[in-house]
Structure formats: structure tokens, C-alpha cells
A and B are shown apart, each in its own frame.
Chain A
């Protein structure tokens, strides 16, 4: 492994910015194939999306990177997470690049999140090579989409390339444009080392594997390294590049992207945004590091109480891989021992929950997601409330603050009315409405985060037939008139069902919540009253009538296997029910609030 430095002018580092389904993974596949990085016969669809959940959902959660050769140049392609919850990770991936490929579906046009990421790229002075994709589809309108790109981003429509990632048409030209338009990196191989970690994951055999970009200095195999944010020291056990097969190298110089294995056991020690330098001759900290801060919280409980230890172990292991979620033990009167978990957003929450259930074989109850409130109490203290049931009693609370976000929605003009109605219904205040073109509008609102964690995204999608897209960022805390609505099941308050809602919406919320629960809770052997209450005052009531019949009519010789399976399924279903007092409650009831349609 001779240390051969590639001349800086032969290097390029870039990311692809695209909306979900606009063909980023297909383009990455095609580039791998055209540059010869992956033989055709080894090609599997969406090579870089390696996690099962990523393939199933068609999104990228963990950033991957790959080194390619194109016309005597070395291109490092950094794949960015493709979801609104992972904005910070995207920003760090972009920080590792000199340019981006903006990929837009030729029939869909540019979407909110793509726009947000493009603005981010522009703020970081990255070069943008724009391309419209899927030009071979019948609905493609590359002229219109190119003009939209010109109007919104100021990239001349005539400079927008036209490609089909699926067939490969235009992809070589796109790679040529990358060499021409994206600047080569700058850096000094002899300066103190400065390398940026833009992704880390935990490998059970190798420990933490980090993806990083060297800006200055030289990263050498075996070197003693200092992690400036974590303030820790590790030895570089192995460094290498992905071709995409991981291939060890002796050194990585300025402008190079590769991986680092340093015997680290916890991804929290090698977080996204971390600066790696040498212990002997430390460089400066790179700017832009942010400690991930969860925005959405929920309780996770094992259905079976005796799986609590298994859940804790699973959370510990998962956190080795994902340092952006948090968990703390909590106890619920209804659900027993569990954990209050914090996530970057709703998708992140779903992914963590799904991985716990799938990879660790746990049956879990997840409570409805909520945000973090600040309660100002009569004693002058400020309590951070990340669980509605822990809100101090009404009499002790002077005021409550809740987090707000600025949301940006890009939508076809015809849906502006229904989206304004949706945003106003969620206590949103309009900040801006811009016509990007005759057909497309940008809406900007400030909205309480608590109003969008429920079902805002689904509502937006259904009201616009999927054509609108959303991006959001934090906008601080504001005081609101909030109350806690409790739910009583069989006359006993169930803490896991408590919610904090705006005073003006509490009655309607309580009424719909008990109606929804009546639908979701199966009939039991006795009548089950369901009530919504504010501070002991009942505001809504429904009853699940006792069931009288639950029997298979016929069971004879030819039926026995079938009936046994039927009863086995019923038995398994029963095991998945959470016993609350005498009432059996299905798991999905705990997120009933998510399903309250407008």
C-alpha cells in the first residue's frame, strides 16, 4: 500500500440532491455501472441502499459513499439521507463536497425538500449541476421543469441536462459536466489534519465505521487520532476507500473521501460532524457541528412486561448505530416499565421502532408522539415536559410554552386553498406565499410542532394527491393556551393516552379520541366506558358494549387444522394485546390520536 497522492485537480467530491422517487438511487446505480465500479452481473437494484428498511421504503437513511474513476479523474460520490428528519446529516454530507448534482423528476418538478437542500448547497458555495431525470417517461415535461429550475434557483434552463438514469441516456455527459463544473478540492497535504465525519455506523465485527472527508493534512493508517468534539483519542486501525467494495489504503490526502475504523464501540464517539485530527499535531475544529437534538418523543413499552430487559438491551445496541435518538427509563401506570424515547422526527421514530421489532424480535407498544413543552410553575421553575402525563397539576402551572417550526410547502397552485385551510386549522401563521411559476406555489407558515407531529404530513399528501412537499426547521418556543386531556378506560385514567392540546381544540379532540378508541378497542366480556377528561371534568364519553358471541359455528373432521389455526391466530392476537386493568387494548390504540382525521 504505497502512499500515492492523487493530484488535487484530478479529484471531485459531490452529492446528489433529489426528492424521494426522483431517481437518485437509480442514477447512483447507473453511474456505478458506467464507470465500471460494479460489474453488470453483480448489479442489484439500488446498490447503495443497503438497509432492508431503506430498500422497502425507497429512501436512504444512512449516507453511503463510493469512489469512481471517470476519464482519469477520481470522483467521490456521497449519498445523502433523503428525508426531512435528517436535515443535519444532509448538511454535513454537503459540507464534505464541492458540488452537487441536482436531480429533478421531469414530470414532477422540484420539491420542497430538494429546494431546501439546494439553498443549503448555495449557502455553502457549492457548484450545482442540474439534471432532469426520467425524460423517457410519457408524462415528462423537461422544458417546463427546466424553466422552473431557472426561475427558482437561477440556473439557466439551457444548462439543465436531460437524462434517463434508468436507461443511462445522458449519464456520461452528466459525469463530464461534473468534471467541468464542480471545482477540484483545495488543501495542503502537509498541514495539520482536518477530516470531517459525515456518517458513522456500527459493525458488530469491526466496531464503528466512519465515512470521512479529508480537508487538510494526511490521514495515515496506524496514526494516533484525536476526535475533537468527543475529546477522545483512538488509533486508525484501518483506513480505506469504497470502490464500492471496501479497500484499505495507506493514506488519505486532501479532497479524498474514505472510511475509518478505529476500534470505537459507540457511534456517539464518532458522531456526524465530528472533526478528526492527529493527536500529535491537532488541527482546528471544523465549523457546523451540532449535537443532535430530538424533536419528537414517545414512550416505548414491551407488550410483555418480562421483555423489559430485552428492550433495554436492544435500545443500547441500536444506539451504538444511531446516536441521534435518546432513551430514558420511565414508568407508566398503564403500561408498566418502558422508555421515553426522543427522535429527530416522525420517520426516524418509525424506523427505530420498526428496527426494534424486526431486528430484535420485540412486540412493542408505542404511545402517540408528542413534543417537548416548557411548563412555568408557580414556584418560578421551568419544567421540561417530554411526556404529557408528567405535566404538573393545572393549579401549579402559570404558563406553558411549546416548540414552533417554520414549514415550507411547495404545491401546485390548485391546492393552495386546501393547504391554507389545513395550516390554519393547525394554528399556523402564514409568513410567505410565493408563486414559483404559474403552476407552483411556495407557502411558508409558522406552526406549533405539536400540530404537525400527528398526521399533518399524511393530511397534506391526501389533500394534494401527493403533489405537495414539505420541509421544516425549528423556530423556537412560544407560549400557548394548552391543557392536558386525559382518557379514562373502564373508569381508570390511562396515562399513556394523555395528550397536551390547545384549549380551544380540547373538546373536539376528546370527542374524536373516545370515538376512535371505541372503534379500536375490541368488545370485551363486559361494557367498557371510555371517557375524555380535563382535570377531572369529563368532556366526552363512549362505551364499548360487552361482546356476547365469539365462537366458531362448525368444527368437524375436515375443519380441525383450519380451526386450530384460526384459534392460534386469535391466541397470538391476544398475546399482542396490552392488558390495562381488566381491558385488553390493541397496540394500535396507543397511536389512535395519529389516526384522527380532520
Chain B
């Protein structure tokens, strides 16, 4: 049975303008204690009876910022299958050969680089500190250290990025021969420097039509290079799909380790305290680091299954009793039937929220006119609602 472990490393050298994740640039002095807390937390959770992990993901923040031996210590505390996928998110400007060798020896077998763009002026607008040459250097180091599985993260659609900039970014990214590419539309999140600038009119918001154009370009270019999409924002060469990602989308079980991390086990979702200080304190005093949980009832689980699966290449089962909707969705070029499933077309992927809400409306029982929140049980001892804690994901 698959089990993922997500380890959150909430430290960064700089904060990117668009980022709304739980991460701090002024808590470097806590790294040592934080690593120990993660190790202790894992020892408590990974009891003898627990299944072995099939995937591990170090996300952030910037996991590559903490000492490699610290990361290796955490990894050591995770009982895992021999073939387990182990990914570390890295900043292109915070890797060196010795560090990568330690990763390798500790069992890391996949690296994910936050490239974002291969154009200097675009990187500058995003508030990133590395340059395109640094990306090429980092990838070369990864190859030299023996890493075969590489993901490169891209962000498209910032207002200063031309269509040609984006094409060049894609070409130069492909020249680095990754087996996995994630490409995200720049999203303005409230509370971020970008969000504030857009709200105050200081910066323009990304344009939907421009982002749609760039998504289509990415999909076409990547496909021509032998990649296929397996989730709306993720493309891989055959066999390069991220197993940890798939676990999220298949409603699998995953443990949450570290501040602000989210875990899921059979319909129970929980999240840890948000700050590294509180996480360390909780572990030290042998208390649970969990800040809250929600118990998903069967309706909510079905809704989640739909909204997650519809985003993937596997699609969703053709809904029963909604023939008219299915006919419409096919007629509008949003989905294609494949055996007994509906798969999003390229146009459908760009309009996935539209498709999802229509499917949800069609599937919802007529009586569910009340607020959907009533379908859950939420307990939270943290003052933060889960919506503010956006972790436990991959490929930042």
C-alpha cells in the first residue's frame, strides 16, 4: 500500500513576491533544532506497525538551504521501501557538489529545481535571486552527482513576459533534458507582495488570455519533445511521473512532518502548527504538533475525488444520470470520452474549474442547497484557518 511522507522545510534565503507558503527568511538559527524535531516526530510516527513509505518529498521553503547532513538525518528516520521515490526541492543557487553527493548517498533520487523562467528580466520581476546560467550549472551538478530524475518548475504569464520569452524559456528548459516539467500560471495570492502591488494598482495583474496562449504553447512544445501531461500543470516523459504527486491526486495517505505540513489518512486530514518555533516546542514537550483536523464525510470525499481526478490524465468516470451535461461538455470541446472515463481536452484543462463546478452541480443531490461546509467536521486549535496554510504540496 502506498504511503507518502511530506517534510516541510520552512526556511528561505529570500521571499519570492508571489509566494504565499509558510516560510521564513529570518529563522536560520532554528534549523538545527528544527531538524531534530522532525527526526523525533518521525520516530514517534513511524512505529514498527506502520507501512513503509513509498515516496518522500522535501518541500518548502527551500529544503536545499538546510545542511545536507541534516536532511539526510531526517530521511534516515523514515522507514521506506527500497524503491521509494525521494524528492528534494532545490533552489538553483543553493546546491553544491558535496551536498548533492550526501543527498545521493542518503537515498535521494529525484531533484526538483525552482527554475521559473530562463529570462533574466522575468526572474527579476518574480523576485528570484538566481539567473539562467545558475540553472544550467545546477542541473550539470545534479547530472554529475548521478541524478536521473529531474523536475524543472516554471511559472508563466507574468505581465513582463512576452510570448517569445516564454517560448525561449521552454526551449532552454528542454535543452537541460529533464524528465519532468511543471508549469504554473502566475497566480496573484492575497497577502503576498505581488498581491498587495496588484491590489494597489502598482503592478498589473496577469492576463487570462495571455496565460491561456502560453499554456497552449507549453502543452504543444512539451508534447512535441516527447512529454505528456498527466496533470493540468505537470508533464513527464514516460516513467517520469512523480509518484508522490499522484498520491495526492488519488486521495492516498501521506504523513505530514514539520511546521504547517498537511497530512491525510483515510478521510482524516490534519495540519501542523504553522511556525517552526511552535513545531519545535510541541515536539520537545512531547505534544502533538497538530493544529487542527477535518474529518471528511463520504459526500465531501466524493467531491474531492472528482475535483482531484478531473485534473489528471486518468480523468473521471462518466457520470451517470447526467447525460445532458456529458453531451454538452463533449460538444463544447472540453472533454473527450475514453472508454468509461472523461478526460479533459487542452481547452478543457484551461477551463477545468468551469468543468469541475458543472460536474459538481450535476452530481450534488438536490437537497444539498445548504452550505457545503456543513458536510465537514472541523476542529482547529490553531488560530489559522487551513486555507492560510498551503503546504504539503510539491514542486514549488
**A interface residues, Cβ below 8 angstroms from B:** 525, 547-565, 567-568, 570-572, 574-575
Contact = CB atoms under 8 A, between A and B. Distances in A.
B68 interface: no
28 contacts: A547-B208, A547-B354, A548-B350, A549-B350, A551-B232, A551-B349, A551-B352, A553-B185, A554-B393, A555-B307, A556-B248, A557-B254, A557-B391, A558-B6, A558-B393, A559-B392, A560-B248, A560-B264, A560-B269, A563-B307, A564-B304, A568-B360, A568-B372, A570-B353, A570-B357, A571-B357, A574-B358, A575-B361
Given A567-B356, A571-B361, A574-B361, A555 B185 contact: no
Given A558-B393, A564-B303, A574-B361, A552 B387 contact: no
Nearest to A545: B209
Given A549-B350, A553-B232, 18 more contacts: A525-B351, A548-B209, A550-B354, A553-B185, A553-B186, A553-B187, A553-B233, A557-B4, A557-B254, A557-B263, A557-B392, A558-B392, A561-B294, A562-B386, A564-B300, A564-B304, A568-B360, A571-B361
Nearest to A552: B353
B230 to A, nearest CB: 13
Nearest to B214: A549
B352 A559 contact: no
Interface in B254-294: 254, 256, 260-264, 269, 271, 294
A570 B352 CA distance: 12
B147 interface: no
B325 interface: no
A558 B353 contact: no
A562 B260 CA distance: 14
Interface residues of B, number: 58
Contacts of A548: 208-209, 212, 347, 350-351
List the 10 shortest-distance A-B pairs measured between CB atoms, nearest first.
Answer: A556-B393, A558-B392, A557-B392, A558-B262, A558-B391, A548-B212, A549-B212, A551-B352, A562-B387, A568-B372
B387 A565 contact: yes
Contact of B352 (A550, A554, A564, A565): A550
A540 B233 CA distance: 41
B158 interface: no
A564 B307 CA distance: 7
Given A548-B208, A557-B254, A571 B351 contact: no
Contacts of A564: 300, 303-304, 307
Interface in B353-393: 353-354, 356-358, 360-361, 364, 371-373, 386-387, 389-393
Contacts of A555: 248-249, 307-308, 311, 393
B72 interface: no
A565 B358 CA distance: 15
A551 B184 CA distance: 11
B304 A560 contact: yes
A525 B391 CA distance: 32
A515 to B, nearest CB: 20
B215 interface: yes
B332 interface: yes
B335 to A, nearest CB: 13
B245 interface: yes
Contacts of B145: none
A422 to B, nearest CB: 30
A562 B308 CA distance: 12
A561 B361 contact: no
Contacts of B308: 555, 560
Nearest to A526: B332
B201 to A, nearest CB: 18
Contacts of A552: 352-353
B55 to A, nearest CB: 11
A550 B187 CA distance: 12
B211 interface: yes
A550 B269 contact: no
Contacts of A562: 386-387, 390
Contacts of A559: 390, 392-393
Nearest to A569: B372
A579 to B, nearest CB: 12
Contacts of B217: none
Contacts of B391: 557-558
B394 interface: yes
B394 A549 contact: no
Contact of A554 (B184, B347, B387): B184
Contacts of B294: 561
Nearest to A562: B387
A108 B347 CA distance: 60
A210 B82 CA distance: 83
A567 B360 contact: yes
Contacts of A574: 357-358, 361
Nearest to B57: A557
A474 to B, nearest CB: 42
Nearest to B156: A553
B387 A549 contact: no
Contacts of B356: 567
Given A561-B269, A562-B390, A563-B307, A549 B351 contact: yes
B270 to A, nearest CB: 11
B390 A558 contact: yes
Contacts of A551: 185, 232, 349-353
A551 B186 CA distance: 12
B387 A561 contact: yes
Contacts of A554: 184, 187, 233, 393
A549 B208 contact: yes
A567 B307 contact: yes
Interface in B82-98: none
Contacts of B387: 561-562, 565
Contact of B386 (A550, A561, A568): A561
A135 B269 CA distance: 59
Contacts of B261: 558
Contacts of A570: 353, 357
Interface string B102-122: 000000000000000000000
